[in-house]
C-alpha cells in the first residue's frame, strides 16, 4: 500500500507540472519548517531592465556595455539592451575579469574600468550625491551597479526585476501553513528588503556570495527542515544542502539536476501544492 500511495502522489505531481524525483523527496517535503528562496529568477521574473542612469548617460552606458559584453550575467544583458537602444557602441576591453557576486572589471583605453556593486568599490569613493541616488534607487527595489573608470565613479545604473505575478500569493499560502519564509540573495540588503516587502517574506539574508549560499542554508537547518527554491548555477550547492531542493523549470541544467523537485511551470504557488500533495500522501500512509 505504501509504494502505491507514493506512486499516486508523485504521479499526481507530474500531472500538475511538479516533478518529484522519488518518494523520499515527497516525504521530506512533509517535514519542512522553513522555505528559503533565491531572489533573481525565482521570486522575480529574472529579466532585469535598466530603469535609471545617473551621470552622463551615454558615457556611463558605453563604459558599462564595453565591460558587460563579455559577461553572461542577467544584469549584463539588461545593460547591453539599454546601450543598444541608446545606440551606444561598446569599445574593446582587455584583461576582462568577472568577479563572482561583485561585478566585472577590465582595461579600457589603458585605464581600469569596473561595473559592479559596492563590494567592487574598494579603490573608489562615492560622492554624497551618488550615495543619495543609490539609496533612493535601492529603496525602490532597484539593483544599483556602479560604473567606474580610472579611480572615479562616473555613474550609476539602476536595474529592476519585477516579482512574478504569482509570487506574493505563493508566499501568503506558505505563511498560512505556518511556515517561515526567507530570501537568500547576492543582491544588496536594501534592494532585497524592498522586494521582500513587495511579496511578503519574513526574513532577508542579502549580500551572500555564491559560495556562501549553502552555508546559509545549513545555518537555517538548525531550526528545522529547510526547503530551498532556486534557479541558478550558484544555487546548486544550496539545492543539494537543503532537506528539499526545489528547482525552477526555467533554471540552469545544474540547478535542475541538483533539485529533488522541479517546478515545470515556474510558478511558486506550486511549492504549496507540493506540500499539500505530501501531506495528503503521508496522511494516507500513517
Interface positions with ligand ADP (CB under 6 A): 39-40, 68, 71, 73, 75-76, 101-104, 115-117, 143, 145, 185-187, 210, 232, 234
Q: Which part of the chain contacts Mg ion (CB under 5 A), choosing from 15-23, 33-41, 61-69, 207-215?
A: 33-41
Nearest approach in angstroms of CB 24 to ligand ADP is 28
Nearer to ligand ADP, 68 or 243 (CB): 68
Helix ranges, the chain (H): 2-15, 23-29, 57-68, 74-85, 128-139, 167-176, 189-199, 213-220, 236-241, 253-258, 269-285
Nearest approach in angstroms of CB 217 to Mg ion is 14
Nearer to ligand ADP, 144 or 226 (CB): 144
Nearest approach in angstroms of CB 247 to ligand ADP is 14
**Sign of the C-alpha dihedral computed for residues 111, 113, 118 and 119 taken in this order:** negative
Nearer to ligand ADP, 187 or 272 (CB): 187
Nearer to Mg ion, 60 or 262 (CB): 262
Separation of alpha carbons 70 and 223, rounded Å: 42
Nearer to ligand ADP, 8 or 121 (CB): 121
Partner touching 231 among Mg ion, ligand ADP, none, CB below 5 to 8 Å by kind: Mg ion
Q: Does 44 bind Mg ion (CB under 5 A)?
A: no
- Known catalytic residues are 38
Spell 218-238 as b/e; 16+ CB within 10 A means b: eebbeeebbbbbbbbebbbbb
**Distances from the Cα of 33 to the Cαs of 45, 174, 180, 213, in angstroms?**
26, 10, 6, 18
Q: Does 40 bind Mg ion (CB under 5 A)?
A: yes
Q: Which of 9, 32, 34, 41 is close enough to bind Mg ion by CB under 5 A?
A: 41
Q: Does 143 bind Mg ion (CB under 5 A)?
A: no
- What angle is formed at CA 253 by the lines to CA 210 and CA 30, rounded to 5 degrees? 80
Helix ranges, 51-200 (H): 57-68, 74-85, 128-139, 167-176, 189-199
- What angle is formed at CA 277 by the lines to CA 276 and CA 283, rounded to 5 degrees? 90
Neighbours of 276 (CB within 10 A): 12
Q: Which of 55, 155, 232, 237 is close enough to bind Mg ion by CB under 5 A?
A: 232
Nearest approach in angstroms of CB 278 to ligand ADP is 28
**What are the residues binding Mg ion (CB under 5 A)?**
38, 40-41, 231-232
Amino acid at each position: 500500500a505504501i509504494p502505491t500511495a507514493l506512486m499516486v502522489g508523485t504521479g499526481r505531481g507530474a500531472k500538475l507540472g511538479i516533478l518529484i524525483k522519488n518518494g523520499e523527496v515527497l516525504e521530506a517535503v512533509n517535514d519542512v519548517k522553513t522555505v528559503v528562496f533565491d531572489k533573481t529568477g525565482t521570486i522575480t521574473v529574472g529579466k532585469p531592465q535598466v530603469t535609471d542612469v545617473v551621470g552622463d548617460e551615454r558615457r556611463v552606458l558605453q563604459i558599462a556595455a564595453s565591460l558587460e559584453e563579455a559577461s553572461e550575467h542577467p544584469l549584463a544583458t539588461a545593460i547591453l539592451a539599454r546601450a543598444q537602444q541608446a545606440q551606444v557602441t561598446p569599445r574593446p576591453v582587455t584583461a576582462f575579469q568577472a568577479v563572482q557576486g561583485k561585478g566585472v572589471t577590465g582595461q579600457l583605453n589603458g585605464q581600469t574600468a569596473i561595473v559592479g556593486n559596492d563590494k567592487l568599490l574598494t579603490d573608489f569613493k562615492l560622492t554624497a550625491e551618488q550615495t543619495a541616488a543609490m539609496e533612493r534607487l535601492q529603496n525602490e527595489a532597484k539593483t544599483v551597479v556602479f560604473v567606474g573608470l580610472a579611480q572615479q565613479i562616473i555613474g550609476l545604473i539602476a536595474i529592476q526585476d519585477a516579482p512574478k505575478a504569482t509570487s506574493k500569493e505563493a508566499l501568503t499560502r506558505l505563511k498560512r501553513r505556518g511556515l517561515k519564509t526567507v530570501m537568500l540573495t547576492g543582491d544588496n540588503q536594501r534592494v532585497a528588503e524592498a522586494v521582500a516587502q513587495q511579496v511578503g517574506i519574513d526574513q532577508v539574508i542579502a549580500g551572500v556570495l555564491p559560495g556562501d549560499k549553502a552555508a546559509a542554508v545549513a545555518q537555517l537547518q538548525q531550526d528545522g527542515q529547510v526547503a530551498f527554491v532556486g534557479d541558478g548555477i550558484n544555487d546548486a550547492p544550496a539545492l543539494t544542502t537543503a532537506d528539499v531542493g526545489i528547482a525552477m523549470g526555467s533554471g540552469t541544467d545544474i540547478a535542475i539536476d541538483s533539485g529533488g523537485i522541479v517546478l515545470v511551470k515556474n510558478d511558486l504557488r506550486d511549492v504549496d501544492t507540493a506540500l499539500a500533495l505530501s501531506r495528503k500522501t503521508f496522511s494516507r500512509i500513517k
